[in-house]
Structure 1
Amino acid sequence: MSPPGAIEVEAVTDTSGVTIPDPLSVPFKSNEIYGRRRKTDKSQWGVAAPANSVNFRSQSHDHKPMAKRWDGHISNEATIRKGNSLKQAAKYLGKPGLISLGGGLPSSEYFPFEQLSLKVPTIGHFSESETKDSGVTITAGKHDLAEGKAIFDISTAFNYGQGSGSAQLLRWITEHTEMVHNPPYSDWGCTMTVGSTSALDMALRMLSKPGDMMLSEEYTFATAVETALPMGVRIAGIPMDSEGLLPEAMDSILSNWDAKARNASKPHLLYTVPSGQNPTGATQGADRRRAIYRVCQKHNIYILEDEPYYFLQMQPYTGPNAPDIPPPTSHAEFLKSLVPSLLSMDVDGRVMRLDSFSKVLSPGSRIGWITASEQIIKTYQKHADVSTQGPAGMSQLILWKLLDEHWGHPGFFDWLIHIRMEYTRRRDVMLNACAKYLPTEVVSWAPPMAGMFHWLKIEHTKHPDYPVKSIEKIEEEIFLRVIHHGALVMRGSWFYANADEKHNTLFFRATYAAAPAEKIEEAIRRLGEALRVEFKLETQEKNGNGKA
Structure 2
Amino acid sequence: MAPPAASVDIEGVTDTQAIVIPDALTINGVSARRAKAGKLNGGTAAFTSSDFFKGPSSGKPKAKRWDNYISLESRSRQPSSLKGAAKYLGQPGLISLGGGLPCAENFPIEEITVKVPAPPHFSEQACKESGVVLRSGKYDVSEGKGAYDLSIALNYGLGSGSAQLIRFVTEHTEIVCNPPYEDWHCALSVGSTSSLEQALRIFCERGDYVLSEEYTFASAVETALPLGIKFLGVKMDAEGLIAESMDELLTNWDASAREARKPRVLYTVPSGQNPTGATQGTIRRQAIYKVAQKHDIYIFEDEPYYFLQMQPYTGPNSPPVPAPKTNEEFLKALIPTYLSMDTDGRVMRMDSFSKVIAPGTRVGWVTASEQIIERFVRHNECGVQNPSGISQILLYKILDESWGHDGYLKWLINLRLEYTRRRDVILAACETFLPKNIVSWNPPMAGMFLWMTLDHTRHPSYPTSTPLSIKEIEDEVFLASVGHGVLVSRGSWFTAERSGFEAKELFFRATFAAATEEKMTEAIERFGSAVRGVFGTANGNGVANGNGA
Per the alignment, residue 393 of structure 2 pairs with 397
Q: CA deviation at 1:33?
A: 2.8
Q: 2:274 aligns with which of 266, 271, 278?
A: 278
Matched, 1:100 2:96: yes
Tell me which amino acid in the other structure corresponds to 1:534: V
In 2, Cα distance between the equivalents of 1:409 and 1:26? 12
- Aligned partners of 1:351 and 1:545: how far apart in 2? 53
Alignment of 1:58-77 (within 5 A): 59-77=55-73
Q: Map 1:137-148 to 2 at 5 A.
A: 137-148=133-144
Q: Which stretches in structure 2 are left out of the alignment for 5+ residues?
A: 1-20
- Deviation at 1:38? 6.9
Q: Residue 72 of structure 1: SS of its match in structure 2? A: helix
CA change 1:25–1:227 in 2 (3 A) is closer
User: Residue 546 of structure 1: CA displacement?
Assistant: 3.7
Give the gaps of 5 or more residues in structure 1: 1-21
Aligned counterparts, 1:281-320, within 5 A: 281-320=277-316
Q: 1:542 to 1:210 in 2, by over 3 A?
A: closer
| Equivalent residues of 2:272, 2:278 under 8 A apart | yes
> Alignment identity in percent?
58
1:502 correspondence with 2:540: no
Match of 1:488 in 2: 487
Aligned to 1:4: none
Name which of structure 1's ranges 166-175 and 254-263 shifts more when overlaid on structure 2.
254-263
Distance 2:27 2:306 in 1: 22
TM-aligned CA distance change 1:97 to 1:369, over 3 Å: same
The answer on 1:512 being equivalent to 2:512 is yes
Equivalent residue number for residue 474 of structure 2: 475
Q: Which amino acid aligns with 1:218?
A: E
Report the CA distance shift for 1:411/1:157 in structure 2 as closer, same or farther (over 3 A). same
- Tell me which residue corresponds to 2:403: 407
Q: Aligned partners of 1:55, 1:412: CA distance in 2, in Å?
A: 22
C-alpha distance in structure 1 between counterparts of 2:85 and 2:209, whole Å? 39
AA partner of residue 502 (structure 2): K
Residue 531 of structure 1 corresponds to which residue in structure 2? 531
Deviations 1:413-437 (A, max 9, x none): 0000001000000000000110111
Once the two structures are superposed, the pairs formed by residues 68-217 of structure 1 within 5 Å of their partners are 68-217=64-213
Which letter maps to 1:531? V
Q: Secondary structure at the match of 2:299?
A: strand
Q: 1: distance between equivalents of 2:22 and 2:268?
A: 28
Q: Which residue of 2 aligns with 1:37?
A: 34
- The worse-fitting range, judged by mean Cα deviation, of 355-364 and 126-135 is 126-135
* CA gap 1:402/1:541 in 2 versus in 1, 3 angstroms: closer
Superimposed CA distance per residue, residues 309-363 of structure 1 (whole angstroms, 9 cap, x where no aligned partner)? 0000000001013222221011111000000000000000000000000000010
- In 1: Cα distance, 2:544 partner to 2:459 partner: 17
Letter of the structure 1 residue corresponding to residue 384 of structure 2: T
- Residue 473 of structure 2 aligns to which amino acid in structure 1? I
Confirm or deny: 8 A CA contact 1:23 1:179 kept in the other structure. Answer: no
C-alpha contact 1:83 1:383 (8 A) present in aligned 2:
no
Q: Partner amino acid for 2:487? A: L
Residue deviations 1:26-64 (CA, integer Å, cap 9, x gap) = 7655xx63332275586841101111111111x211401
Is contact 2:312-2:445 (8 Å) kept? Answer: yes
Deviation of the 1:542 alpha carbon: 7.8
For 2:22 and 2:203, locate their aligned partners in 1 and report how far apart those are by CA, in whole Å: 33
Deviations 1:150-185 (A, max 9, x none): 010011111010011100110000000000000000
Give the counterpart letter for 2:369 in structure 1. Answer: S
Change (3 A) 1:507 1:103: same
Q: Relative to structure 1, is the Cα distance of residues 133 and 221 closer, same or farther in structure 2, using a 3 angstrom cutoff?
A: same
With normalisation by structure 2, the TM-score equals: 0.93
Paired position in structure 2 for 1:12: none
Partner Cα separation in structure 1 for residue 532 and residue 230 of structure 2: 38
Secondary structure of 1:210 counterpart: coil
Distance (Å, rounded) in 1 between the aligned partners of 2:493 and 2:545 = 37
CA displacement at 1:444 relative to structure 2:
0.5
On the 8 A contact 1:24/1:332 being kept in 2, the answer is no
Q: Which residue of 2 aligns with 1:10?
A: none
Q: How far has the Cα of 1:469 moved from its partner?
A: 1.2
Contact 1:114 1:141 (C-alpha < 8 Å) held by counterparts:
yes
- Contact (CA 8 Å) 1:44, 1:51: kept in 2 or not? no
Give the match for residue 19 of structure 1. none
1:330-409 → structure 2 map (5 Å cutoff)? 330-409=326-405
In 1, the alpha carbon distance for the partners of 2:520 and 2:76 equals 51
Instruction: Write the distance in 2 (CA, Å) between the matches of 1:469 and 1:544.
Output: 16
Question: Corresponding residue for 2:44?
Answer: 47
**Paired position in structure 1 for 2:10:** none
Residue 136 (structure 1) shift: 1.2
Give the Cα separation in 2 of the matches to 1:324 and 1:38: 40
Q: Which amino acid aligns with 2:45?
A: A
> Kindly tell me: are residues 541 and 76 of structure 1, through their superposed partners in 2, closer, same or farther at Cα, counting changes over 3 Å?
closer
Instruction: Check conservation: 1:442, 1:458, Cα contact below 8 A.
Output: yes
- Aligned residue type for 2:236: M
Q: 1:242-272 deviations in whole A, cap 9, x for unaligned?
A: 0000000000000001112212111000000
1:463 corresponds, among 445, 455, 459, to 459
Q: C-alpha distance in 2, partners of 1:435/1:387?
A: 48
C-alpha distance in 2, partners of 1:322/1:206? 49
* Whole-angstrom CA distance in 2 between matches of 1:543 and 1:23: 53
Contact 2:22 2:180 in 1 (8 A): no
Distance 1:290 1:404, change over 3 A: same
Check conservation: 2:422, 2:513, Cα contact below 8 A.
yes
Label 1:43 to 1:452 Cα distance change in 2 as closer, same or farther (>3 A): closer
Work out the CA distance in 2 between the residues paired with 1:387 and 1:220: 26
What is the distance in 2 between the residues matched to 1:27 and 1:163? Answer: 29
CA shift, 1:208, in A, is 0.1
CA contact (8 A) 1:247 1:288 kept: yes
Which stretch shifts more, 128-137 or 536-545? 536-545
1:230 maps to: 226
Q: TM-score normalized by structure 1?
A: 0.93
Contact 1:490 1:509 in 2 (8 A): yes
RMSD of aligned alpha carbons: 1.9
C-alpha displacement at 1:503, in angstroms?
1.7
Q: Retained in 1: the 8 A contact 2:310–2:446?
A: yes
CA contact (8 A) 1:196 1:354 kept: yes
Distance in 2 (CA, whole Å) between partners of 1:53 and 1:104 is 26
Output the CA distance in 2 between the equivalents of 1:300 and 1:103: 42
Rounded to whole Å, the distance in 2 between the matches of 1:153 and 1:458 is 54
Question: 1:23: Cα distance to partner?
Answer: 10
Give the C-alpha shift of residue 407 in structure 1: 0.2
The code of the aligned residue for 2:530 comes to A
Partner residue, 1:267: 263
